[in-house]
Amino acid sequence: MYYTILAAGFFVLFLIIFGLKLVRQSRAYVIERLGGYHATWGVGIHFMIPFIDRIAKKVSLKENLFDYDPQPVITKDNVTLLVDTVVFYQIADAKLFAYGAENPKLAIEKLTLTTLRNVIGELELDETLTSRDTINGKLRSILDEATDAWGIKVNRVEVKNIEPPETVKEAMEKQMRAEREKRAVILIAEGEKESAILRAEGEKRSTILQAEAKKEAAIQEAEGQAQAILTVQKATANGLNVIKQVVGAEGAVTLKSYEAFARAADGKATKIIIPSEIQSLSGLVSGIAELTK
């Protein structure tokens, strides 16, 4: 009787120890009882009834990735590319992950390939090569929505590499070379244009400065001539004032008439008839000249 009780005690202790389970951080256990889903255990110590409960699946809640081999994809303009993608995912629901898909990794791989072909099939080659962010965003959105039923959350999708065919590479290199040569020719033409503009502006400025210099010289010359004329006129006026003081206004007028006859003769006339009034003033002028010396 004693041994029976002892054996029963050891058996119960064994069941208790055997039934205690410790779930660690970032892990989840899917528990079945009598063949059906019972619970999902999180972090901590849990008790499982031996021979009745069982751990159906141990799930890691850490972020993981699927790195697929390059896959052939055809663009909208019928160019076949090799596209290498990486899918970063995380288990959001351990129960759905355990019962949602038989092989989640294979299911995501096939879904990724199908979605990738659909997305790139709508783009031409140039758009595909320059729109990786757009492709990544579309892939992540579609995959995340499709994998919700499997308890999987797709955090991001990255297109690692897009490999075009060799013929396309050669054509792209030729195009890039042509673009570089075109830019070089444009830069040279712009430089020559700028140089011609600067030369023309320099010549224009030089012409303007020369014209301004000539204008200034002409102004200075005209002002000099005007000053000389003004000086002569002042001297003439002073002379007339002296004559007026000596012989009066009528004598001054007569004398000016005499000067007008002299200018009219200009040394070319052989005979000049001088009025008697002017002849009578000749002696007077000589006297005035003596006085003004």
Quick check: 292 pLDDT over 70? no
User: Which domains occur in the chain, in start order?
Assistant: 2-59 (no CATH), 64-164 (3.30.479.30)
Model pLDDT for residues 134-163, shown as the tens digit of each residue: 888 888 888 888 888 888 999 988 888 888
In angstroms, the CA 128 to CA 120 distance is 7
What pLDDT does 27 receive? 92
Q: Which residue has the tokens 């792209």?
A: 172
Nearest to 240 by CA among 252, 230, 228: 252
pLDDT digits (tens, 9 = 90+) for 186-222: 888 888 888 888 888 888 888 888 888 888 888 888 7
- The model's pLDDT over 257-281, given as tens digits with 9 standing for 90+, comes to 555 555 555 555 555 555 555 455 4
Element (H, E) at 29: strand 27-33
Task: Note the Cα 84 to chain centre separation in Å.
Answer: 32
* Tens of pLDDT, residues 89-119: 999 899 998 888 888 888 888 888 888 888 8
pLDDT at position 127 is 83
Task: Using a pLDDT cut of 70, give the percent of the chain over it.
Answer: 76
Average pLDDT rounded to a whole number, residues 57-82: 87
Contact (Cβ atoms closer than 8 angstroms) between residue 251 and residue 285? no
Q: How far is residue 44 from each of residues 49, 61, 90, 96, measured CA to CA in Å?
A: 17, 15, 21, 21
What is the overall mean pLDDT for the chain?
A: 78
Residue 30 has pLDDT above 90, yes or no: yes
- Asked whether the predicted pLDDT for residue 289 surpasses 50, the reply is no
More confident residue, 33 or 249: 33
Sequential DSSP letters for 54-108: EEEEEEE-S-EEEEPPPEEEE-TTS-EEEEEEEEEEEES-HHHHHHH-SSHHHHH
